[in-house]
Structure 1
């Protein structure tokens, strides 16, 4: 707990005090707490959490308490609020925690869920939920459907609201996130799943109160546990995918530091174009991966070529132009990339057939590659590099429109222009700071490498007579070949 920020400790202490106050009425004499039902539900929740700490199971089981929200909501439906607040405590304290501080996380989770289940049970009770389930404890009455759905949904809403508020509080105090961002998106993303959990919890509660007894409720719990296990496996696989992508991008950024952050922005712009085209959501992630990894082939290009000061020789230009094929070979065995592999290979093809590596033209170029080509060029033009300043967004769009039909697919260019007009663009980040650019522009000998001064680049060139920037050196030309290539100075 000592490593926990003071504000987070205050937040945790406040949650613990609230949990104690919520559960206190269950211990008072004459409270008529159904201890048998409470003990059974608490044991079930504990049993669901313990496999996460068992070495035999490892990380192949759901480890977060959220996996068992249906059971907690069933407790909110079956128990008075004060008793329901006790169900999650043992399981949360005994459950698996992956990151330190372990004790603080367990205590917080136990207090958070205690207060949350109490709030859900209060909402359910206020709307007459216990009566709609068939009466009090021991009553085998028939559930009042569909009225029973109303208190169950209200309980899910209360559950989601309280959980969201507490999650945001800990993000602000422990993770030091800005308050204006901490709660953003939490409720919309959680409300739907919590409503589904509430329906499963309602089924458990109805069976629990039926003539078949508590044992029959396991027929709901077991399928829910299995489905949560499958869902957790999917998320772990997805996390592994993201880690793979992140490692490749970091390797490229380390090797070619002058385009750092470029890959992420190309992925973002690619998705912006795809949404304007009405592309299916199932394809968006693969397209984002394509944008992020489009330059992964730079790992196969000698560093001396990528970082060279001055003009590139024709041989060096040919080496640069091999990076799409290198990239395709690097990702060939990564099955989840799907259509992204074709985009990595073909994102430098041109609509008129004069691109590389295979000189494809028109619709022969895969759709993903045509999207990434526009996104790549747009970000390369709008990003400030050490050797030239970035263009304004309108100027970059105008240049793309000028080259639409010859280099770029006009449909993709139009989609980007519409997306930028609708949403704007906040991704035009610099690969180096503006101060670095200013210092380099004041260098007495542009392009010179001084002893101990590091890699010094040329300043931004003066505009050409036709109003478009011309390549200042081989690095600018390489950048156009790698991304913008929107002028007559196409490489090769």
Structure 2
């Protein structure tokens, strides 16, 4: 808790206090809380969260699927607001937490879910949802389709409150822009609607002659759907493992740029966030950054490791690596726009790049992003034959070449991202290449990726030598 900024600590304490105030009326003697339903639904919600931790058919449900909200939303439709808020607490405390401090995150989730549940149940009651569901009595037929209106409104409020609270914690704890969390609202709304429909089905069956046992049957298909979603995540993890294998092959072949691909993917992601790209496109762009040099697998190793000047013919061979890379990945459907970035990341805004000499908006957006990220990392990385430039110097060089070699919008986005978050590469050349710690050999020529100045280096072409990726 002490590691959190003071604003984040105050924010979490206010959320906890709000959650306690919401649930407190259910604990008073005059509230007539249906403790049997609260205990059953609360225990059921906790079990649903614990099931995600336990293996099912040999696998665990991966992180990122989110909470299992049908039970909570069933409580919204069946119970008064204060009692519904209590139902949300056990599952939130029992959920899987991957990051520390775990206890702070559990308390935060419990308060967040209690507040969202209380607000949703309040809206449901104001819109006369309980009466439409059956007037609060057992064996009463629900009023379809009117009951769908208050149910939909309460699910929307539930989603909005969760998103708003997430937005607050991102702003206070992680110093992110306020709009960052709200960008995920459209994507989270659809799953919440599905969970709301399942919760409404549970509530209808709960009030039926068959009672709570029938309501529990709704959870079986929902959990099977969750397992199918987990299968999708495992397939996605396999895709990422394939990508990493390709990158490792490039790193082994080209010893001068080890770790470069991972860092370009990281810088590309920073630019994408500043541009406001959706999470789906952001992930594909990260793949583009990681795989931008995969075509080096088709370049003779002797050329990648050559210390002396390259002949014109050797330069032309190395300049084929974007096309080689595009051919290698063209059949990988999930890469999408990343394929075009791999092909065009050495194009220049003024049309003097390669392989096709595209200019300005003819160059795909992803390629313009990767070009800036590629050059930035080339200038700020230490190689065995050249020390890294300071980040400030690299940024000035990018700004100087904006409009000629680089898209100014992408350069400005990277500058804003670095000013906000700094540059902390997850992989460094020094860690992957021990020789980089030694003195700079006097016989080694300047890396093509070390300068964006008009002067030409040993290759005479931007990013065609072992330091591939830098401006020239």
The TM-score by the shorter chain falls in which range? 0.5 to 0.7
In 1, Cα distance between the equivalents of 2:452 and 2:457?
9
2:257 aligns with 256
In 1, Cα distance between the equivalents of 2:305 and 2:87?
61
In the superposition, relative to structure 1, how do residues 476 and 243 fare at CA in structure 2: closer, same or farther (>3 Å)? farther
Pair 1:222 & 2:198 matched: no
Q: Report the Cα offset of residue 208 of structure 1.
A: 1.3
In 2, Cα distance between the equivalents of 1:153 and 1:208?
19
In 1, Cα distance between the equivalents of 2:92 and 2:59?
17
Q: Report the Cα offset of residue 153 of structure 1.
A: 1.4
Give the 3-state SS of the residue equivalent to 1:66 in structure 2.
coil
Pair 1:91 & 2:83 matched: no
Q: Report the Cα offset of residue 108 of structure 1.
A: 1.6
Q: Report the Cα offset of residue 172 of structure 1.
A: 2.9
If the length of structure 1 is used for normalisation, what is the TM-score? 0.65
CA-to-partner distance for each residue in 1:125-159, whole Å, 9 max, x for gaps? 111110110111x3322211222112111111211
1:211 aligns with 209
CA-to-partner distance for each residue in 1:379-428, whole Å, 9 max, x for gaps? 3799577599668565459xxxxxxxxxxxxxxxxxxxxxx89xx54478
Q: Report the Cα offset of residue 13 of structure 1.
A: 2.6
Q: What does 1:179-328 correspond to in 2, within 5 Å? A: 179-239=177-237, 241-242=239-240, 245=243, 255-256=256-257, 289=287, 292-298=290-296, 306=304, 311-313=309-311, 317=315, 320=318, 323=321
1:164 aligns with 163
In the superposition, relative to structure 1, how do residues 207 and 264 fare at CA in structure 2: closer, same or farther (>3 Å)? same
Give the 3-state SS of the residue equivalent to 2:463 in structure 1.
helix
In 1, Cα distance between the equivalents of 2:19 and 2:282?
42
1:473 to 438, 441, 457: 457
Instruction: Tell me if structure 2 keeps the 8 A contact 1:298–1:323.
Output: yes
Instruction: Tell me if structure 2 keeps the 8 A contact 1:380–1:479.
Output: no
Structure 1 residue runs of 5 or longer lacking an equivalent are 276-280, 349-355, 362-369, 398-419, 434-448, 463-468, 488-492
Pair 1:375 & 2:367 matched: yes
In the superposition, relative to structure 1, how do residues 82 and 180 fare at CA in structure 2: closer, same or farther (>3 Å)? closer
Pair 1:112 & 2:104 matched: no
Q: Report the Cα offset of residue 177 of structure 1.
A: 2.6
Q: Report the Cα offset of residue 189 of structure 1.
A: 2.7
Q: What does 1:11-26 correspond to in 2, within 5 Å? A: 11-26=11-26
In the superposition, relative to structure 1, how do residues 65 and 396 fare at CA in structure 2: closer, same or farther (>3 Å)? closer
Q: Report the Cα offset of residue 58 of structure 1.
A: 7.3
Greater shift, 143-152 or 3-12, is seen at 3-12
1:141 aligns with 140
In 1, Cα distance between the equivalents of 2:80 and 2:211?
19
Give the 3-state SS of the residue equivalent to 2:60 in structure 1.
coil
Instruction: Tell me if structure 1 keeps the 8 A contact 2:264–2:370.
Output: no
Give the 3-state SS of the residue equivalent to 1:476 in structure 2.
coil
In the superposition, relative to structure 1, how do residues 320 and 429 fare at CA in structure 2: closer, same or farther (>3 Å)? farther
1:278 aligns with none
Instruction: Tell me if structure 2 keeps the 8 A contact 1:124–1:151.
Output: yes
* Equivalences, count: 412
If the length of structure 2 is used for normalisation, what is the TM-score? 0.67
Structure 2 residue runs of 5 or longer lacking an equivalent are 347-353, 357-361, 380-388, 419-438
**Structure whose alpha-carbon radius of gyration is higher:** 1
Instruction: Tell me if structure 2 keeps the 8 A contact 1:343–1:372.
Output: yes
Q: What does 1:18-167 correspond to in 2, within 5 Å? A: 18-54=18-54, 60-61=60-61, 66-136=66-136, 138-167=137-166
Q: What does 1:309-388 correspond to in 2, within 5 Å? A: 311-313=309-311, 317=315, 320=318, 323=321, 375=367, 379=371, 383=375
In the superposition, relative to structure 1, how do residues 205 and 473 fare at CA in structure 2: closer, same or farther (>3 Å)? same
